[in-house]
Each structure stands twice: as structure tokens, then as C-alpha cells.
Amino acid sequence: MSTGTLTIDLAAMAKNWTALDAMSQAETGAVVKADAYGTGIGRAARRLAQTGARKFFVAVAEEAADIRHALGPDPEIFILSGHMSGDTDMISDLNLIPLLSSIDQMLRHFEALPGAAFGIQLDTGMNRLGMEPAEWEAVRTLVIPQAPKLIMSHLACADEPEHPMNAQQLAAFTQMTDGIDAPRSLAATGGILLGPEYHFDVTRPGIGLYGGLPFIDAVPVVSIDLPIIQTRDVATGESVGYGNTWIAERPSRIATVSCGYADGIIRAMGPNTELFAAGTRVPIAGRISMDSIGVDVTDAKDLPSSLQLLGQHQSVDTLAANAGTIGYEILTSLGARYTRRYIG
């Protein structure tokens, strides 16, 4: 096998959902947008539904088809981007619930699909999606009698518990929604960890389901093992890879593994990142290229057929920090060439 193996532990994903559900003083849904953060939306949704999730959140309507195919008509599927032009047939055919974020979307939905389910997204200060307070106040009395399935907003700084923006958004959301007889949702993973006052009626864990921060107790879900294509001996003073950026300071053994930035392994992580040879740390040697990576395996006593990049010894957030990014980007950038293996 010449491609890396991407292993997705569905039992670990289920444990993470169960743990976050236990913290939630509300019904717990699941965010499965971006192909369930790169883990496979159909498989992830099926396992999360088996574990107890009944509400699923996707970014765009097109992402919902695999959930409906996997789970049938019963679960509620919410579209975070709302009702976009061209979405009407899919919303109707798949029985989706758009989270309307503007008066334009509201008019489009009510005119195209009168009586169809919908939710509302409010802007409480993030200035990304949602109706602002004045806009909401203008239409609130028209919307509420039509029984929205959910009213939600999104926290900008939930991964920073002491950030004053959290309390500001909580106050704004409470002010905009108090007295409304409709389920409310403010908390994703970080919001769950902030405490019960942020939970309202529905929580929406995302990154925490897949093993990422800020849920520090998350069980790792994804691992990556990379097959060794070739090994070679390199003399002191010889270089490895593009640009001669790595020079051997001793007689060295270099393994070339099959993977690169075309597979979502960001070049910037190279100088700070190690792989693992049966538990032994082995550093990247030289630049990460499109399809291959050089690894200094000189200190590996027993060289296996593959090296582990992500898994038991190195988390997705460690890789992200090495690249100057976040775990979300690592997970959602993993390419199509991996052999995917599901366990649990």
C-alpha cells in the first residue's frame, strides 16, 4: 500500500459525544459540517445517532444528503448558512431546517416553502452570520407565531473562558430571545465548557467530538500512519529535500514516507514535527513536499513499515501548533488519497 492510512475511531467519537452530553444541561446535537471535520459525514452521523444525537448541523444544504441517506427521515438537520438561492428543492426534498440569518433569507423561505420548518440565527456581536438586534426586532412578531424550530447564535471567543466577549454575547442573546417560546442554542464545544448558563435548550458540539481543543479531555479520534517508500544512508554533510534545508550532522538513516502537503500535511509544520517509529520519536528531515516527506530514523532501533504522524503520541492540536494554525484546519484539510479505516 503506497498511501497513508487514516484511521477514524468511531467509538472514541461516541465517547466524546457522551462526555459532552453529560456536561450539557440541554439536549445535545452534533455538528457534522465539512464532512464531519474530515472524518466522513455518513459514518460519523450514523454513529452519533446511535449514541443519542437527534439534531445535526451542517454548513450548507449539500452536506445533508449523506445524513439523510444514512439515518432516514427522523433526525433534524439544520443548515447554518440558511436558505440560499438555489437551495429550495433540496430543503424541501430532504426536509431540512435552514437557520435564516437575514430578512432576505426569511422572505425567500416563506415565499418558496410556506409552512416549511425553519430556524433563526441571530448576531450577538460576532458580525459573521445572523440578524442584528434592530433587524430582529423588526421581524420578531412576524416570525415567532410561525414556530421556529430553533433560535441560535454563535460565540466568538468560547475557547477563551475569561474573555469578556462571552458574557457580552450571553447577555445579548438572552435579551434578544427572552420570552420566546422556541428552543434556543448558543453553545458549541467551547460554550458547553463555559457552564450551564450558556447551554439554553440545545448544545452543538463540533470540534470536541473529533478529539480537538478546547475539550482537553477528548479521546483522540483520528490517527495517521504513513508507509515508508524507501530508506537510505546519508553521510555527514549531505542534504535532504528541496532547498538543502536539512544537513546531516552525523551519518544518518533517512526514510521517505508517502504523504505531503497534497494530503493536508502543511509545509509549515515540518521544522517542529516528529513522527513515531514504534514509539520512538523521529524528526522530519527537510521540507515537506507534495507527495513525500523525509524522516530521520537514525535513532529508531526497529524500523516498522510505517511511521505514525497523528495518534497516540501526537494530537491534532500539537500538529496544528507546529504549523501555526488550529486543529480544525488540520482535520478538514486531510486529503482524499488516504486509505480510510474505520474502527469502533
Q: Which residues are catalytic?
A: 33, 242
Let me know the angle formed at the C-alpha of 210 by 80 and 208, rounded to the nearest 5 degrees: 70
Q: Is the peptide bond before 214 cis (omega within 30 degrees of 0)?
A: yes
CA distances from 100 to 7, 134, 179, 287, 336 (A): 36, 16, 20, 45, 32
Instruction: Provide the β-strand partners of residue 234.
Output: 252
Residue 116's region, left for phi above 0, alpha for psi from -120 to 50, else beta, is beta
Q: Parallel, antiparallel, or unpaired for β 30-31 and 239-240? A: unpaired
Cβ atoms within 10 Å of 36's Cβ, excluding its own: 30
Amino acid at 6: L
As a whole number of angstroms, the distance between CA 254 and CA 148 comes to 60
Sort 291 into a burial class: Cβ within 10 Å, 0-12 / 13-18 / 19+.
middle
CA atoms within 13 A on the CB side of 22: 7
Amino acid at 237: G
Distance of CA 145 to the CA centre of its chain: 34
Amino acid at 188: A
As a whole number of angstroms, the distance between CA 53 and CA 75 comes to 8
3-state secondary structure 236-303: CCCEECHHHCEECCCCEEEEEEECCHHHCCCHHHHHHCEEEECCEEEEECCCCCCCEEEEECCCCCCC
CA atoms within 13 A on the CB side of 153: 28
